[in-house]
């Protein structure tokens, strides 16, 4: 090899960064717009990180909390079933670019990993924090806005991990949620789980307090025995009626149908037998509900049960769809 060739090879070698054992070192991920690089970052809530390369965004996880109440984003009503709860995430997105950046529900991929190591993707719905408005907008340079999204997770146990990604192959943010997620509180939390991460399927409820179901909130106003003729007939011999008057409020952003079968209403007797409502009546007259209830409007109804006259009663329960059941104690009614 000539002297000139050796000098050429040496010059090329000096231009290449070498790692251990003579291997070429990987190029370092550049810091984008002055924040932390994203090559698989173990992220911390409250701290901003830049994610994405071709169209970067600054992401800050502000809050994570468990809930069994509905979340409304735009026209979508998200309600957990009895064996589920919601992981509600509040986060801030800022535009670090010198041009407008479009942001909507498809701009980020957000995934929770539950206690069984199962991936639980966020719903493809993102709302403006503090409103029901669905987010699909342009962020101006340096503009920052707060958003909310939701992930349906199992009712029992913690959700240890959260993964946030902007663009495939450009790295992710990994959050450890075990010590930062706001716990469930009574009456929704299962007292058998001191961590507050498990939800009850049957919620112990109290009269004259409002509780969420699916589209309706329910308040149990009164429960009383009756021997009146209701819906055209008196109770059978050896039986009597129990009449539960409830106030229903439509919390959905659109009209919601209310009929006799919208709620599953049952009484539990002392033996645990379930006695379904025999009819549903208007608050002050015969005939049952069969109408569309406007958003935020109230409707008062009477749920009528026929029970053995001398049978002690445990509870009256209400459920809408497959949501959590409200469980009202009736032991003092006997």
What mean pLDDT is predicted for residues 309-332?
95
Instruction: Select the more confidently predicted residue: 14 or 304.
Output: 304
List Cβ neighbours of 306 (8 Å cut-off, separation of 6 or more). Answer: 235, 236, 239, 240, 241, 275, 278
User: What is d(CA 240, CA 228) in angstroms, rounded to the nearest whole number?
Assistant: 9
Query: Is a pLDDT exceeding 90 seen at residue 235?
Result: yes
User: What is d(CA 220, CA 112) in angstroms, rounded to the nearest whole number?
Assistant: 36
Query: Is a pLDDT exceeding 50 seen at residue 16?
Result: no
Is the bond into 101 cis (omega within 30 degrees of 0)?
Answer: no
> What pTM, to 2 d.p., does this model score?
0.86
- Report pLDDT digits (tens) over 78-101: 999 999 999 999 999 999 999 999
- Report pLDDT digits (tens) over 26-45: 333 334 454 554 457 899 99
- Report pLDDT digits (tens) over 102-159: 999 999 999 999 999 999 999 989 999 999 899 999 999 999 999 999 999 999 999 9
Lowest mean pLDDT across 34-43, 207-216, 227-236: 34-43
Q: Which part of the chain has CATH 2.60.40.1240?
A: 34-176, 202-333
List Cβ neighbours of 205 (8 Å cut-off, separation of 6 or more). Answer: 187, 211, 220, 326, 327, 328
Q: Tokens standing for 251?
A: 């919390």
- The pLDDT assigned to 33 comes to 52
Report whether 57 contacts 23 (CB < 8 A).
no
Lowest mean pLDDT across 198-202, 256-260, 284-288: 284-288
For residue 51, the cross-strand partners are: 57
The domain over range 34-176 is classified in CATH as 2.60.40.10: no
- The pLDDT assigned to 17 comes to 35
Q: What CATH class is the domain 202-333?
A: mainly beta
List Cβ neighbours of 282 (8 Å cut-off, separation of 6 or more). Answer: 288, 289, 300, 301, 302
Report whether 280 contacts 289 (CB < 8 A).
yes
What mean pLDDT is predicted for residues 181-207?
97
């Amino acid at each position: 090899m000539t002297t000139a060739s050796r000098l050429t090879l040496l010059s090329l070698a000096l231009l290449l960064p070498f790692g251990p054992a003579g291997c070429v070192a990987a190029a370092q991920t550049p810091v984008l717009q002055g924040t932390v690089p994203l090559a698989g970052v173990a992220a911390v809530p409250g701290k901003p990180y830049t994610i994405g390369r071709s169209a970067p965004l600054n992401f800050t996880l502000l809050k994570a909390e468990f809930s069994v109440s509905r979340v409304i984003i735009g026209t979508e009503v998200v309600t957990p079933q009895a064996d589920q709860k919601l992981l509600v995430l509040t986060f801030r997105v800022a535009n670090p670019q010198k041009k407008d950046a479009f942001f909507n529900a498809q701009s980020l991929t957000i995934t929770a990993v539950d206690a069984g190591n199962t991936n639980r993707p966020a719903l493809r719905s993102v709302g403006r924090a503090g409103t029901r408005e669905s987010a699909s907008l342009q962020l101006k340079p340096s503009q920052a806005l707060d958003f909310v999204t939701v992930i349906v997770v199992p009712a029992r146990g913690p959700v240890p991990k959260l993964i946030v990604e902007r663009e495939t192959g450009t790295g992710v943010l990994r959050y450890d949620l075990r010590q930062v997620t706001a716990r469930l509180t009574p009456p929704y939390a299962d007292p058998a789980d001191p961590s507050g991460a498990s939800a009850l399927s049957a919620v112990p409820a109290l009269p004259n307090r409002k509780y969420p179901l699916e589209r309706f909130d329910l308040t149990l106003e009164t429960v009383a025995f009756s021997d009146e003729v209701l819906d055209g007939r008196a109770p059978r011999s050896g039986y009597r009626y129990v009449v539960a008057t409830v106030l229903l409020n439509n919390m959905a952003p659109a009209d919601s149908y209310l009929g006799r079968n919208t709620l599953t209403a049952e009484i539990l007797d002392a033996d645990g037998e379930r006695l379904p409502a025999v009819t549903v009546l208007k608050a002050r007259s015969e005939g049952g509900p069969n109408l569309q209830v406007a958003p935020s409007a109230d409707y008062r109804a009477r749920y009528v049960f026929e029970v053995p006259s001398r049978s002690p009663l445990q509870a009256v329960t209400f459920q809408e769809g497959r949501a959590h059941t409200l469980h009202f104690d009736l032991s003092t009614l006997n």
